[in-house]
Chain A
Amino acid sequence: MEIHKLSGWEISQKIKNKELTLDKVISFFKERIKKFNPQLNSLVSLFEDVEFPSSEFSSELWGVPILIKDNICIKNREITCASKILKGFISCYDATVIEKIKKAGLVILGTTNMDEFAFGSSCENSCYGPTLNPYNKQYVSGGSSGGSAAGVSAGLSPLALGSDTGGSIRQPASFCGVVGFKPTYGRISRYGLVAFGSSLDVIGPLARDIRDIAYLLEIISGWDAKDSTSSLQEKKSFSSALEDNIKGLKIALPKEYFVAGLNKEVEESIKEAIKVFESKGAYISEINLPHTEYAVPCYYILSSSEASSNLSRFDGIRYGARKKAKDLIEVYKKTRREGFGKEAKRRIMLGTFSLSSGYYEAYYLKALKVRSLIKKEFQEVFKYYQAIITPTSPTPPFQIGERVEDPLSMYLSDVYTIPSNLSGIPSVSLPCGFTKEGLPVGLQIMANHFSEDILIKVSFSYQSVTNWHKIYPKDYD
């Protein structure tokens, strides 16, 4: 049996039906990880002593293996955010999502690689080295949740958790040919997620099958007393949205997302996908989102400002790698100089500058205003449309090293994913084709706040008539 080609929920069912045993499943994936991870660098640590679920069949995903991005706290496990500054740091508590998935009986196999502190779009800014694209190892896996995306893509685990601040789940999902889901800001507790941009960060699932995504969302979402920004909104049943029915659904295509910078092959794939939705009875119209061009600069100011403050606590005083020096200031300087990578330092400087007196109004405050305009613009669209469809990324995966020295081109690879973080709305990236070179292409769907059910319905309809999500990289087939 090709267990790695089963969806998470199928594995769980087979365990329940006694077609498979939990031990068999776990050892199968562990073997696979041991065999393939050295090629891909998807995991940064594989748990030899996995924690087995205690309660029987407590969810649709009971017994299913899952990988966790290295910026989500798991009790008694090392968490590094792929940064030297946290090397050796063991978390003394579980993030709320971890508590929930443990309770639901999922089995955490290990932690996955990422751009340091989630700063990046290629998974190259990691102290562990880059995670490679399973479809072609010359190419990046995307970022920052590249390890999670590549892991699911190569069948090292049917499920993974990532975090998305400006596209960090969706862009690598698109690059690795899997589904990546960014829920509404506030839908899932951030408690235990190491903060990057606190007003933008969201935890979300990656998988190949939208049904797995729906089940996992059901498990991890909900209000949390430990996170004041988590929403009191009643939890919807995401699995009941798994129906192939989008007849009459109004879908918008924003013109600003189909412009010069968009790769032709990507555009072709998206157009093909749109035809699928049309054939299922959805109405497609072009619309305008005129502030789109300001999203990237606005995002880099806000996210870096928050990050500069969030990363202050990594000073070597209480935990992490402290460097010895002659006085306090030198301890701070040396610890942070040697502990943080290049991109982390760039963001800290950018954010510190934007918040400095004399610049605050022109940068941070201005960006806040732009953000509310972008939010408003989406609200207008959602008065008439239920979903917006765009490419996830303007290009297919790029080559390792291609953009490392050009941060601006790297930042622009998130141009289509950033707006939903700024406005807090949910969005999903679905595999929707391959380039001639065999690199995956992703389709992004956005919906209004707390309308994850619409995204699930649209995704399910699409996956019921397409096979893109079932095409594995040939080396890991």
Chain B
Amino acid sequence: MIELEVVIGLEVHVQLATESKIFCSCPNLFGQPPNSLVCPVCMGLPGVLPVLNKKAVELALRAALALNCRIKEEIIFERKNYFYPDLPKNYQISQYSNPLGEEGFLTIGSKKIRIKRVHLEEDAGKLIHKEKYSLVDLNRAGVPLIEIVSYPDISSAQEAQDYLKELKLILQYIGVSTCDMEKGFLRCDANISLREKGSSILGTKTELKNMNSFNQVRQALEYEIKRQKNSILQGEKIIQETRLWDDNKKITLTMRTKEEAHDYRYFPEPDLVSFVISKQEVDKQKALIKELPSQKRKRFKENYSLNDKEIEVIISESGLSNFFEETLKYYNYPKKVCNWITGPLLEVLNNKRMSIEEIKLRAINFAELIKMVESRKITNLVAKELLGELIKYDQNPQTLAEERNLLSISEKSELLGLVREAIEENPRAVEDFLRGKDKAIMFLVGWVMRKTRGKANPHILKELIERQIKEEK
């Protein structure tokens, strides 16, 4: 039986985080009422002309540089002609023969995935399909996009997902896009084919569309690999076609075949003049690329001796790693701070559905909170409770704990009364403990904890209960 290998190339579209659209001054915003962010230019009314937003060029340039691309000295736009109701002019202003960046790469683990091109273009609007008609929302029409096309260097569905994660991280780090896939800020199409292992000839590919998350990309590729493998093993020919991922059924379905493919009739956009990218601009954008995820990974490993898993969580958002390093300035125990961030802090953020950028908590106060736990001024439980407050309002944790009367009760005299009460009220647990059930002691600890609203120092408490039971006996 022949052994097959997988060949995948990805085409990723990313919306740039500019304030306005690429060819007019309408705001670039998500989630506004339909057709509220439009003007004659992005509606494609008769007589209008595009004017290039320089900010979009800057962000695209920065992205191309971060992806190690060769930069074109002169940007030329071209028209991609096709009819579709979400495309107001029935052509898209894009780049074809002269992409902004070419021949770059990004690295996942130890593997280099080459990038063929990075080019700048405008987004189309959105269609909202109703039962008997469709509506057009042009808020998105004219939002700046970059298209990032990889070489077919990816050899598994998992690798495709890793590539996307790394790409997203890079673009987030350099401030080019938030890459929020749920909002469509990042969209991915995949080209996939199989070939005999070791062969240098590419097999017939299919193009997969309509995947709305990194997981779906992986699942669609996994499905498609299986489908193609079965076809090949049964001696069938793979048809070159575009297939849509159906996320409910978890399968891919034919959308259109090669014969139905468009002839886009690209030609230079006569309404725009060529735009020269100066060396100064390249230098300026290079300088704005501070530290890429791969560099940060290396530095964190060397400086903070965190393990790979911890590093991945901490660098998964530049906000998190910044907060981590800021906290270290006040409390220089990387491992502990890392645990506090990846544990309690992320848990609270998830519960409150907040991002690290949105929190009011300052690193100095976060460090203070950790110190308070370490010095047993407050319990872990109380610390978590306080975190929920601290992320919403900028306040000192010490003051807050005092105000709320949440400082740990470590004074044995204060606790002794409660311990006696616990023993009196829970004879069964005491008996169990005496019969050798060590767990029973924890029931009694919990009982006191509830009475103190979590303030009792659990170590001291445990010790006290044990001693008291033995004494009473």
Contacts and interface: CB of A to CB of B under 8 A. Distances in A.
A79 B47 CA distance: 10
A225 B40 contact: no
A306 B40 contact: no
Main secondary structure of the interface of B (DSSP, over half): loop
Contact of A312 (B47, B51, B89, B267): B89
Nearest to A201: B270
Contacts of B266: 355
A309 B46 contact: no
Q: Of residues B40, B45, B79, which shows the largest number of chain A Cβ atoms within 10 Å of its Cβ?
A: B45
Contacts of A325: none
Contact of B47 (A192, A309, A315, A357): A192
Interface in B43-70: 43-52
A225 B90 contact: no
B83 A312 contact: yes
Q: Of residues A86, A92, A313, A356, which shows the largest number of chain B Cβ atoms within 10 Å of its Cβ?
A: A313
Contacts of A356: 263, 265
24 contacts: A71-B47, A72-B47, A73-B47, A86-B46, A91-B45, A92-B40, A93-B40, A192-B48, A195-B47, A195-B271, A225-B51, A227-B49, A227-B51, A228-B51, A228-B52, A229-B273, A305-B267, A306-B270, A308-B265, A309-B91, A309-B267, A318-B44, A355-B266, A357-B263
Contacts of A312: 81, 83, 89-91
Interface string A171-193: 00000000000000000001111
B88 interface: yes
Contact of A191 (B47, B89, B91, B263): B47
B382 interface: no
Interface string B260-285: 00010111001111000000000000
Given A191-B47, A193-B47, A352 B273 contact: no
A96 B265 CA distance: 30
Q: Of residues B81, B90, B265, which shows the largest number of chain A Cβ atoms within 10 Å of its Cβ?
A: B265
Kindly list the 9 A-B residue pairs having the minimum CB-CB distance in the complex, ordered from nearest: A312-B90, A198-B270, A355-B265, A199-B270, A194-B46, A192-B47, A73-B47, A313-B89, A194-B47
A314 B40 CA distance: 14
Given A355-B265, A356-B263, A357-B263, A313 B46 contact: yes
Given A226-B49, A315-B83, A315-B90, 18 more contacts: A71-B47, A91-B45, A93-B40, A93-B45, A192-B47, A194-B46, A195-B271, A198-B270, A228-B271, A305-B267, A306-B270, A313-B88, A313-B90, A317-B85, A318-B136, A332-B83, A355-B267, A356-B265
Contacts of A228: 49-52, 271-273
B263 A309 contact: no
A294 interface: no
Contacts of B91: 309, 312
A381 interface: no
A305 B271 CA distance: 14
A465 interface: no
A239 to B, nearest CB: 29
B81 A355 contact: yes
Interface in A196-240: 197-199, 225-229
Contact of A317 (B136, B271, B272): B136
A228 B49 CA distance: 8
B167 to A, nearest CB: 30
B43 A318 contact: yes
A319 interface: yes
A91 B267 CA distance: 28
B230 to A, nearest CB: 34
Contacts of B44: 313, 318
Nearest to B265: A355
A321 to B, nearest CB: 13
B122 to A, nearest CB: 14
Given A73-B46, A313-B90, A318-B44, A198 B81 contact: no
Contacts of A309: 79, 81, 91, 265, 267
A89 B273 contact: no
A364 interface: yes
B121 to A, nearest CB: 16
Contacts of B81: 308-309, 312, 355
B57 to A, nearest CB: 13
Given A312-B91, A318-B88, A91 B47 contact: yes
A198 B271 contact: yes
Interface in B216-245: none
A328 interface: yes
Interface in A284-327: 305-306, 308-309, 312-315, 317-319
A71 B47 CA distance: 8
Interface in A226-282: 226-229
Contacts of A360: 265, 267
Contacts of A226: 49, 51
Nearest to A81: B46
Contacts of A352: 265
Nearest to A314: B46
Contacts of A364: 267
Interface in B256-312: 263, 265-267, 270-273
A271 to B, nearest CB: 38
Contacts of B51: 225-228
Contacts of A455: none
Given A309-B91, A313-B90, A357-B265, A191 B49 contact: yes
Contacts of A318: 43-44, 88, 136
Interface in A46-97: 71-73, 79, 81, 86, 89, 91-93, 95
A190 B49 contact: yes
Nearest to A117: B46
A184 to B, nearest CB: 15
Nearest to B23: A228
A91 B46 contact: yes
Nearest to A351: B265
Nearest to B39: A93
B352 to A, nearest CB: 43
A49 B181 CA distance: 53
Nearest to B267: A355
Contacts of A93: 40, 45
A335 to B, nearest CB: 11
A298 B385 CA distance: 77
B174 to A, nearest CB: 27
Contacts of B83: 312, 315, 332
Q: Of residues A95, A227, A312, which shows the largest number of chain B Cβ atoms within 10 Å of its Cβ?
A: A312
Nearest to A320: B46
A229 B47 contact: no
Contacts of B90: 312-313, 315
A309 B270 CA distance: 11
A89 B265 CA distance: 29
Interface in A151-166: none
Nearest to A199: B270
Contact of A319 (B45, B47, B85): B45
Nearest to B24: A226
Contacts of A315: 83, 85, 90
Q: Of residues B46, B47, B88, which shows the largest number of chain A Cβ atoms within 10 Å of its Cβ?
A: B46
Q: Of residues B44, B48, B136, which shows the largest number of chain A Cβ atoms within 10 Å of its Cβ?
A: B48
A356 B267 CA distance: 10
A305 B268 CA distance: 11
B140 to A, nearest CB: 15
Nearest to A191: B49
Interface string B184-205: 0000000000000000000000
A352 B263 CA distance: 10
Contacts of B263: 356-357
